[in-house]
Amino acid sequence: MAGTNAASSRAQTEKQAQGQTQRETQRGTQRETQRGTLTVELDLPSAQVLADQISTIQDLQFVMECCKRLLTELVKPEDEREPVVPQALWSAALMAYDRCFTRGKKFGLSADDVRDLPLEGQVMKFHSWVVDERNRLARHPANPYEVARVGTVLSAPGPSDGIADGTADGSAERQVQGITVLSASHILVDGAGVRQLGALASELAKHTAEKAQKQEGTVLAEAQKIGLDKLYGMPPLPVGAPGDEDPRAEEAEEV
């Protein structure tokens, strides 16, 4: 009886494994049939550069979209704005723009990419200001007065102001009535500055797209040097972003 149960358990395990393999094969075959081709993943230095360029373009497009949305918020009267929305859009734009640049030489954009743009005016000065604003936004202020000022509320000065306190002349006695705190806005830019950042991001995106197009040719040339047998033996590149596979779908198939 025990042997029969063990054999049955092994058979069930093998069946489940075969089913899993079959489902994976079917999904891969479906992808190949839908596209008519097989796409395999390349792990090459040139492919890393291309992937980095595409990532940079996506960040710059995000900056452009944030600036577009922010402009629609800034034209609204202040009493009709949701305060968190402009601040969130501006903060996100600064973060995404700064993420496109790196101190290294292999990936990301550099100051030279900004200098090479066909733009007039103090482009580098504006670029440096944007980066500084991002750095200021991402760190706790060394000087608390950068973001808030504290004051004390005094009673209204009267005719007796400047002489000894008292009410002999009928004026109110001078006194400290309370404390007030004034917070500074995190959006220190007007519509013109937002448009300038959007235009700068747009030009950088075009500049990076041109480099990515050339880099794609480099990757293709290196891929063609790899043997076909090796290429066809590589794992297929998943369709969609990593993690898009829904585990619930697999669970449903197993039921």
pLDDT at 127 over 50: yes
Residue 123, classified by CB atoms within 10 Å of its CB into exposed (0-12), middle (13-18) or buried (19+), is middle
Bigger pLDDT: 163 vs 126: 126
Q: Average pLDDT of 94-120?
A: 89
pLDDT at 13: 44
Q: Measured between alpha carbons, how far is 203 from 162 in angstroms, rounded to an integer?
A: 61
Please check whether residue 20 lies inside any domain of the structure.
no
pLDDT at 18: 46
Please check whether residue 213 lies inside any domain of the structure.
yes
Residue at 55: amino acid letter: S
Structural domain containing residue 131: 39-161+171-242
pLDDT category at 250 given cuts 50, 70, 90 is very low
Please check whether residue 91 lies inside any domain of the structure.
yes
Please check whether residue 182 lies inside any domain of the structure.
yes
pLDDT category at 212 given cuts 50, 70, 90 is very high
pLDDT (tens digit, 9 = 90+) per residue, 28-63?
A: 444 444 557 889 999 999 999 999 999 999 999 999
Please check whether residue 50 lies inside any domain of the structure.
yes
Please check whether residue 29 lies inside any domain of the structure.
no
Q: Measured between alpha carbons, how far is 71 from 73 in angstroms, rounded to an integer?
A: 5
pLDDT at 166: 52
Number of domains in the chain: 1
Please check whether residue 7 lies inside any domain of the structure.
no
Query: With a threshold of 0.85, does the pTM exceed it?
Result: no
pLDDT at 238: 80
Residue identified by tokens 């995404």 is 96
pLDDT at 122: 93
Please check whether residue 93 lies inside any domain of the structure.
yes
